[in-house]
Chains A and B, each alone.
Chain A
Amino acid sequence: MATPTNSYVTLDQIVNHWLLSNGKTVHNYMKAYTFATEAVRELSFNSLHLIQETFLAKPKGQSWWNLPSDYTDWVSVGIRNGEFWRPVGVLKGLMPFPAPHNYGLDLATSVVKTPSVGSTAEFYTYTFNLTNTAAAAEFNNIVTAKAQGMPFGIQNVLPLAAVSTTAVGTTGTVIISPSTGLTFNQTLGLQSVLYLWIYPIPNQALIDDDYANWGDEVSGYAGSPTNPWFTPYQGFLPFFFSDLYNDWGQMKGRQFGLGDGTRIDSVVINVEQGIIVCPKQFPSDYLYLAYVSTGNANTMTKIPKNGQAAIEAYITWKYFATKRNRQQDAAIAKANYDAQHKLLRSRNNTLTTTDVKRVIARGFGRTKE
């Protein structure tokens, strides 16, 4: 029987209880709290696994998610399907090729409108200091991508862009002019380009609404991975594309040797880099992640109640251990903490010989007692 985890206590409650039972005032709160967080961290490694749940969003300009700083192992990963979360696979294979990124370092430094008078213009000249190798190399692509994000009012009518140079260390200019027969319907500013440098990939030229409302609204370009539309199948397009799960989130089974590393609904967790990467076509910018935490606790962290005694014993031990002339008390408190720690571990490990017999019995069918 697993440890019941439906009764929790917060770290704040543990610290307050310790202060209360030890006749201490709020003046010891900070110290006790520090020891309590330390205890949660230490216990979480082996004896008191804390499952944290979080909702990751890709930072703007990144094509990956950052792992929570207290991550040690994953439990489940999912994406939103309407009002449900559905699981996605975690691949053990090679990392998908990440989408280009990190062009945000070179931003337009100035923009000059020609002619300078009037709300519209014949063309705009954007100036860049090309300091970033990656950005410079992709300068052409970025400028091409520029069109899709600019607020021209007429969708799919792109302005013309002319690039002067792509060499690192030089000053590059981009001249933006309206399509033939059209005029800009508003003045462009630095923000227009800044925006595009953050989202340089043509089919990921998203606007903020895409992030805020994806799944709720059709706005954007057909085929954009974050532009959902309804299909004859239930749910949104991204889920239809899954090759691991059906629309009900059920595992369809594996196709060995097929599509390895290119499944668009799977992620790769790279602990060393502290990131979760996904293929470019991954159908969500948000990721639900349940993971085993190292115990980065705050005062509101919920801790299984069976760990309270051990945490309080730890506080007592450390409290004495850091006091002058209290080393003898610390030794006694340490022994008490060890006892509580053992008790906690034994509570979490309640496999009895009867359980073992039953497991064996199940494996071999009927046995004589």
Chain B
Amino acid sequence: MSTTKGQMIERIRRILSGGFPSTRDRIRDAEIEKHMESAMNRLLKAEMFNVTYNMDGDSIPQGVMIATYTNLPASGIVNDPSYTVKIPVTPQYLPDGMGVFKVIVKNSLPSAELIPIPPGQYGILNGSGESSSLISQRIGYTWEGPNVRVWQTATLTTLAQLFEMQLCVVSLNSLSSTSVLPLTPDLEEAVIDAVVKAYVNEVRTIRDESFQGSPENFIK
């Protein structure tokens, strides 16, 4: 079963409008989409903890929640010991910093995958004696807010590299309305419920055409 973004929005609109969606509805598709996005990220993360962690004891997230971004440029100052790459979308918070799932120079070999180094640990690793040999042999990165800091000397060559990142996140911006959602079938209903629930407490979600229900009609 593959539900597209447009289909999901359609289903939610239909519920919100009591079965009669109209172009005059006050709730716009973009708004529903953002609610959907939040709900999907929350549900997939909960699913991961419930199933992957608790039942299997594994820590590898399911592929459904991984999004790949390519052609990410590096920025920095030549001769600095490190440079940064901007993370295109803020990923989820997962154990071991797995929100940023993979960082690699575009088109490089799988073995050249960068090693994640938790924030604040690079200096410790550097001074740790025997373990510090890792630094000279593998390139590490640290996730720092909106950026990933790559622990490689910034040169004209290294700064010219393009990076590929895999992030644990659902970002609907990049999907067209006919794109299939990264959502398992069993979670579709939960997403719809979550979005509808967000609107339940809002007064007059559906445009009321009567004079009594809509004060602005008196003004007309």
Contacts and interface: CB of A to CB of B under 8 A. Distances in A.
A321 to B, nearest CB: 17
Interface in A14-44: 23-30, 33-34, 37-38, 41
Nearest to B116: A27
A298 B98 contact: no
Q: How large is the interface on B (under 10, 10 to 19, 20 to 34, 35 or more residues)?
A: 20 to 34
Interface stretch (B1-9, B29-37, B126-134): B126-134
A27 to B, nearest CB: 4
B85 to A, nearest CB: 17
A96 B189 CA distance: 85
B104 to A, nearest CB: 10
Given A37-B131, A297-B130, A25 B138 contact: no
Given A29-B116, A30-B140, A298-B137, A23 B130 contact: no
B115 interface: yes
| Interface size range on A against B | 20 to 34
B117 interface: yes
B138 A299 contact: yes
A162 to B, nearest CB: 45
A34 B138 CA distance: 14
A28 B58 CA distance: 13
A37 B130 contact: yes
B59 interface: yes
A300 interface: yes
Interface string A232-264: 000000000000000000000000000000000
Contacts of B113: 26
A296 interface: yes
Interface of A: 12, 23-30, 33-34, 37-38, 41, 295-300
Interface of B: 56-60, 96-98, 101-102, 113, 115-118, 121, 125, 128-131, 133-134, 136-138, 140
Given A29-B138, A38-B130, 5 more contacts: A23-B59, A26-B115, A26-B116, A299-B133, A299-B137
